[in-house]
Structure 1
Amino acid sequence: MSALTVPESQLAAPAHGPAVARPETPVAAQPLPGGLDQWLAERHGELIAVRRHLHAHPELSHQEFETTALVAGELRVAGLTPRLLPSGNGVICDIGEGGPVVALRADMDALPIDDPKEVEYRSTVPGVAHACGHDVHTAILLGAGQALARLADAGALPGRVRLVFQPAEEASPSGAPQMIAAGALTDVAAIFGLHCAPRLPTGTVAVRTGPLTAATDIVSVNVSGPGGHTARPHLTVDLVHALSRLVVDVPALLDRRLDPRARVSLVFGSIAAGQAPNAIPATGHARGTVRVLGREAWREAPELITQLMQEVAAATGATASVDYVRGVPPVVNDARATELIAEAARLALGPDEVTEAELSMGGEDFGFYLEQVPGSMIRLGTGIADAAPMDIHQAGFDVDERAINHGVRVMVHTALASLARFTD
């Protein structure tokens, strides 16, 4: 594969830390074709090394140039022909020929978070860390691509699989529209992805039909008035009062103006106005996030929230200026695609290792792809046994690295099942 390897001496029993857990094929799993299970077991250390290299050298959104170079190099070693985005920080790579075309996606960017872990692969970049598992996603897609390339070389790939290594999932604007504009979805019948789930046991996955994650937007409101003395609020506009009404009343009014099944959440994280206790300020502002599970409600949200903010502000005498910034759409999994990836996961891990995923109000720009083609995203269990519960976007985030092989198996089974379905 590459010069990135983990010595055999580090292959040990499953553990949290620098030692690499030996790979294991779940007892109830169905074997991969073409001897890929043995091939995958032999390359376990190499995939771990790729993940650890990425973890130690994280790159922020829109800056994933070294990560892109590594991914492209590994794909070329496998005999593939990767295509870099014009920006140089994303990769599209087809495996096989003809149709149908099925896409598999991984994101590559890290977060502006410190990494306090005491492990050999701790981040070497101050204030930047792979605290969301995108290094794991990238290693999994590389492994799946290399396995599928072996099948293609043997003439055993009934169609074409497109690998989509995406930058800037954590940013706004995010990288999914950039990938789509570069042709990531051209001729694609379906797209699939996975995301690390540290609260799920390693060796399991969770799937869900319909909404999985919420649309996520940012709204900012600036209020203004003449300002004045707190002893005479009746002679001016009390902007602190106006802001308090906005942050309390607008979320409550939304609950009455949108279908409650859409699960709309408006939460403010920043509010500021004035400095002196005896002076009513002339300006103030508040910023928050809007999260929506329903596509239709998401489309209605900007106009409605802007209207409500202006109406509430006007009732206090203040003037409100609203800036509504679109983030990402909701991830709404297609029913047939979810059924397909769930069955593939049962084949890959065993029938008892697939559970139902919980709804999340977090954002994920995989939703952009699902607005164009059917597809599904699943949760991959990466929980470390006997360790304290962990969450994504948390300093010190880490995974049980056996999950990488599990993820490869799920993605390969998914690609083959998808090609077979669309060929029928």
Structure 2
Amino acid sequence: MEHEYVKKTRRWLHQHPELSMQEFETTAFIKRELDVLGIPYDTPLATGVVAYLEGTAERAIAFRADIDALPIHEENEVDYRSEVDNVMHACGHDGHTTMLLAFAGRVKKLYDAGQLASTVYFIFQPSEETEAGANQLLKAYTFKKKPSYIFGFHMMPDNAEGEILSKPGPITASATEYRFFIKGLSAHVANKEQGHSAGEALTFVLTQVAQIQQFHLPGLRHNIVHIGQFHAGEAINTVPSNGYLEGTIRTYHADDLAVVKEQMMKIAEACTTLTGAQVEVKFSDGYPSTYNHEEAYAFMKSASEDTSLQFIEKDEPYLFGEDFAFYGDVAPTAFAFLGCRNVDKHFVTGLHTPTLNFDEQVLLGGIDLFSAILTRFEAVQ
């Protein structure tokens, strides 16, 4: 019965993907499901839902799922293929939402039977892929009872079905974008000394940015200072008057990010002095590093023993960003990845690809772990 619900729900969501902050139909679907279950909810943002069941005790616990999709055109030839051109659940958020809805159904049965002591929050969060939906939601919403822990899971096609992966400490990287804007002074190539070349400035910036990792960051830490794209100039016979460079920074430690930013500001200042071009660097702060609190992580890992999942403790964190990081400002958090790779069924392609797919059966393992976490939390006096 539950498996059929999970399959039906995930496939409906997969067919009706919506981009970040546009998840109106998805939100309406979640509300309908919660209404059927008789679970109350709040809507602090235009999209997304925070549902809750109030227990008899003062303690509370929260579980989160993200609900948005990506601007990717699906290439899977399945009968539940996305019905929206160039929009697809290519990151597994349809699975995350399904798990949390099914789990909410289980918890409602406990509540109806008078067996729920803890208040449980079910966070259906918009806009994980862009605009830091978690941060927006937490600024707009206040929990009536502060959660002792907040947990979240993510699909992981790199690992086999039945595996759950995590680690204490940082589990994903911070993601920050940077952009250099270069304004030179144009001149004819015959009188190039009369100009200030944005090309010269860009060459300097490129060289120096590429050296930050080598000379200014600890060698034993994982960091990425990536140059994504750059360009300068307007015509074949003029001094370039405009230049541009952009990229992304991935770190696990806030002090490393601070070092990168400081060096980039120094590079811009030095370049202006050396070349005469005006150089400015701007940052778009994305997501902090998602950090698994030691106590919450141990709680989750211990609860996995009550399921059929194989818990794998990773040696290294992932280098992608995840806005679950913001929940760490509210309560101790733990985040894990649910394996969904199945070679026999050709479910082998990665996250953010147009052929990501998985068997809904794997979602039952995630729901079981949510349940095991709640059961152990309920047992704490």
TM-score bucket of the superposed structures, by smaller chain: over 0.9
| Structure-1-length-normalised TM-score | 0.84
Query: What's the CA shift string for 1:217-249, capped at 9, x where partnerless?
Result: 111111122123446554433322321321231
Distance 1:233 1:264 in 2: 39
Moved more, 263-272 or 60-69: 263-272
Aligned counterparts of 2:271 and 2:168: Cα–Cα separation in 1: 38
The residue number in structure 2 matching 1:356 is 313
Q: Match of 2:159?
A: 200
Match of 2:170 among 205, 211, 215: 211
Distance (whole Å) between structure 1 residues aligned to residue 215 and residue 120 of structure 2:
45
Q: State the partner residue of 1:45.
A: 4
> Which position in structure 1 is the counterpart of 2:240?
281
1:78 aligns with 2:53: no
After TM superposition, list the pairs within 5 Å mapping 1:253-272 onto structure 2.
Answer: 253-272=212-231
- State how far apart, in whole Å, the 2-side matches of 1:230 and 1:93 are: 65
Unaligned regions of 5+ residues in structure 1, if any?
1-41
Q: CA deviation at 1:99?
A: 2.5
Q: 1:376 to 1:261 in 2, by over 3 A?
A: farther
Q: What is the number of residues matched between the two proteins? A: 377
Aligned equivalents of 1:309, 1:49: Cα separation in 2: 54
Q: Which residue of 1 aligns with 2:116?
A: 157
**Cα pair distance change 1:368/1:299, threshold 3 Å:** farther
Contact 1:271–1:286 (CA under 8 A) maintained in structure 2:
yes
State the distance in 1 between where 2:361 and 2:302 align.
21
| Map of 2:129 onto structure 1 | 170
Q: CA RMSD in A?
A: 1.9
Superposed displacement of residue 354, structure 1: 0.9
Counterpart of 1:309?
268
1:247 aligns with 2:206: yes
Number of the residue aligned with 1:373: 331
Query: Aligned-pair distance for 1:207?
Result: 1.2
Q: Which amino acid counterpart does residue 370 of structure 1 have in structure 2?
A: G
Cα offset, 1:300, TM superposition: 5.0
SS at match of 1:189: coil
Query: What is the CA deviation profile of residues 99-121 of structure 1, one whole-angstrom value per residue up to 9, with x for unaligned ones?
Result: 21111000000000000111011
Q: CA deviation at 1:254?
A: 4.6
Contact 1:263–1:294 (CA under 8 A) maintained in structure 2:
no
Given candidates 76, 90, 97, the residue that maps to 2:48 is 90
| CA shift in 2, pair 1:415/1:179, >3 Å | farther
| Separation in 2, partners of 1:271, 1:277 | 17
Question: Alignment partner for residue 396 of structure 1, among 355, 359, 362?
Answer: 355
Correspondence 1:222 to 2:155: no
- Structure 1 residue identity aligned to 2:140: A
Matched, 1:103 2:62: yes
Q: For each residue in 1:252-275, what CA deviation from the matched residue of structure 2 results, as whole angstroms up to 9, or x when unmatched? A: 135433334453322121212124
In structure 2, distance between residues paired with 1:417 and 1:339: 12
Provide the rounded CA distance (Å) in 2 between the counterparts of 1:96 and 1:360: 35
Q: C-alpha distance in 2, partners of 1:373/1:180? A: 12
Change (3 A) 1:188 1:331: same
Work out whether residues 234 and 241 of structure 2, in 8 Å CA contact, stay in contact via their aligned partners in 1: no
Query: Share of identical aligned residues, percent?
Result: 31
Matched, 1:414 2:373: yes
**Deviation per residue, 1:194-216 (Å, 9 max, x gap):** 11100111111101111111111
- Amino acid in the other structure paired with 2:308: L
Structure 2 distance, partners of 1:411, 1:231, is 71
Is residue 68 of structure 1 aligned with residue 27 of structure 2? yes
Aligned in 2, Cα 1:312/1:254: closer, same or farther, shift over 3 Å?
A: farther
Return structure 1 stretches of 4+ with deviation > 6 angstroms: none
Q: What letter corresponds to residue 155 of structure 1 in structure 2?
A: G
Instruction: Give the Cα separation in 1 of the matches to 2:258 and 2:197.
Output: 33
Distance 2:269 2:129 in 1: 30
- Relative to structure 1, the CA distance from residue 318 to residue 419 in structure 2 (aligned partners, 3 Å threshold; closer, same or farther) is farther
- Residues 1:260 and 1:373: Cα distance change in structure 2 (over 3 Å): farther
Q: Contact 1:106/1:137 (CA < 8 Å) preserved in 2? A: yes
| 2:128 partner SS | coil
Counterpart residue number, 2:18 = 59
TM-superposed CA distance for 1:283, in Å, is: 0.9
CA deviations over 1:263-306 (Å, ceiling 9, x no partner): 33221212121242332211111111111111333355434422
